[in-house]
Structure 1
Amino acid sequence: MKWLGAILILSACTWAGFAFARRLSDRPRQLRMLVSALQSFEAEMMYGLTPLMEASLKLSRQIPKPISYMFAQFAYYLQKGEESAEKAWDACLSDTWPLTALQQNELEVMKQFGATLGQHDRIQQQKQIRLALSHLAREEQDAKESQKRFESMAKSLGFLTGMLVIVLMI
Structure 2
Amino acid sequence: MIKWAGAIFILIASTWAGFLLAGNLRERPRQIRELRSCLALLQTEINYGVRPLADALSRIAETAGGALARILEKGSKNLLSMDGESTYQCLHRAIEEEWRHTALSKTEKEILLKLCHVLGNSSRADQLHHLQLAATRLEMEESKARSEQERYEKMYKTMGILTGALLVILLI
Taking structure 1 as the reference length, the TM-score comes to 0.98
- Within-5 A mapping of 1:137-152: 137-152=139-154
- Cα shift readout 1:23-74 (whole Å, capped 9, x = no counterpart): 1000000000000000001101111122101101101111111111111001
Task: Tell me how large the CA RMSD over aligned residues is.
Answer: 0.8
Flag structure 2 segments of 5+ consecutive residues without an equivalent. none
- Cα shift readout 1:132-153 (whole Å, capped 9, x = no counterpart): 1011111100100000000000
Report the secondary structure of 2:66's partner residue.
coil
CA offset at residue 101 of structure 1? 0.2
1:51 aligns with 2:49: no
Tell me the amino acid that sits aligned with residue 56 of structure 2: A
Stretches of 4+ moved more than 2 A in 1? Answer: none
- Within-5 A mapping of 1:93-112: 93-112=95-114
Partner of 1:24: 25
Separation in 2, partners of 1:159, 1:76: 43
Report the secondary structure of 2:158's partner residue.
helix
Flag structure 1 segments of 5+ consecutive residues without an equivalent. none
Partner of 2:115: 113
Taking structure 2 as the reference length, the TM-score comes to 0.97
Partner of 2:159: 157
Separation in 1, partners of 2:47, 2:89: 22
Tell me the amino acid that sits aligned with residue 111 of structure 1: L
- Cα shift readout 1:61-99 (whole Å, capped 9, x = no counterpart): 111111111110010000103411110111011011000
- Identity among equivalent positions (%) equals 35
